[in-house]
Amino acid sequence: MPAVLTDASQAYRRCARRLRGRLGGKPAELYRSLRDLSDRFDSQFPARPSEGAGATERPLAAQFAARVERNIAGGVLSYSARLHLIQTASEIGIGRFEANLIIAAIQHRIGRSASSPEPAARPSLKIVAFLAAALLQALILLGAWFVFFIH
């Protein structure tokens, strides 16, 4: 980690990109390395809890989850909003890794609840089968009538 970088989040992103490039084909090792990186940065750059953090009764994770839900517009969380949320999480004492987990959990829950609208009503399969059988019977009767009464 270069000493020139003064912004901790910039340094973290740079290290994470290097890990993803090096371990892209090894997901288990990549996960462990990213978790270690996150822990190392969280311990090296401790979060500064805000003054009003202890004033509420809700746990920090629940407060952060509610904030994430308010920032998701139409089931989508923009990248800039995600970065802002991670910064906010750091300020209230939630580590980067936990913040990303909370964001992912909220996005997953919202994605499931915002299911796609029902497709337009189509005739049921039973009705289609009945109409096909009725048409076949009508054709048989028409053929029989033609054979017996026209010839």
| Span 47-105, pLDDT tens digits | 655 544 444 446 888 889 889 988 887 778 888 999 999 999 998 888 999 999 999 98
User: Is residue 114 predicted with pLDDT exceeding 70?
Assistant: no
Which helix (H) or strand (E) covers residue 29, if one does? helix 27-44
Which helix (H) or strand (E) covers residue 21, if one does? helix 8-22
Strand positions, DSSP E, 1-151:
none
Q: How many C-beta atoms surround the C-beta of residue 5 within 10 A?
A: 14
| Span 17-46, pLDDT tens digits | 999 899 888 888 888 888 888 888 877 776
C-alpha span between 80 and 118 (Å, rounded): 32
For residue 70, the 8-state DSSP code is: H
> What pLDDT sits at residue 55?
47
User: In terms of Cα–Cα distance, which of 102, 117, 116, 38 is closest to 72?
Assistant: 102
